[in-house]
Amino acid sequence: MLFNSLDFLVFFPIVVMVYFALPFRFRWASNRIEPVVPGQPLPEPADDGERVLQGVALQRAEAGDLQTIVGNPAEPALDQIVAQFQSDQEVQRIDEVIAWARRQVEERFGPPEEGGYELHYQVYGRDGVMGALEPNRDKPAHELGILVFGVAPTAEMAEEVALTGTRQMFYARLPDVKGTAGGVAFPLDEVVRVSPAYRWTLNHALRVDDPLELFELHTTEVAAAPEREAAEVAS
Partner 1 sequence: MSAQAAAAPGQATATRRLADLAKTIRSKNAGVDRITFDVIFQDRDNYELVKRSGVLSRESVARLYGIAESRITDFVTFDPANAIKFTILRERPSGSPGDSDIFGAQQYAPLLDIEVPVVSEG
User: Does residue 54 touch partner 1 according to CB under 8 A?
Assistant: no
Of 145, 13, 151, nearest to 73 by C-alpha is 145
* Closest approach of partner 1 to the CB of residue 136, in Å: 8
User: Does residue 89 touch partner 1 according to CB under 8 A?
Assistant: no
Site string for partner 1, 157-196 (x = CB under 8 A): ----------------------------------------
Site for partner 1 in 92-151 (CB under 8 A): 118, 120, 122, 128-135, 149, 151
User: Does residue 45 touch partner 1 according to CB under 8 A?
Assistant: no
Q: Which residues contact 80 (CB under 8 A, 6 or more apart)?
A: 89, 93, 176, 177, 178
4 in Cβ contact with 175 (< 8 Å): no
Among 15, 22, 61, 99, the residue binding partner 1 under the rule CB under 8 A is 61
| Interacting residues with partner 1 (CB under 8 A) | 36, 38-41, 59, 61, 64, 66, 118, 120, 122, 128-135, 149, 151, 197-200, 203
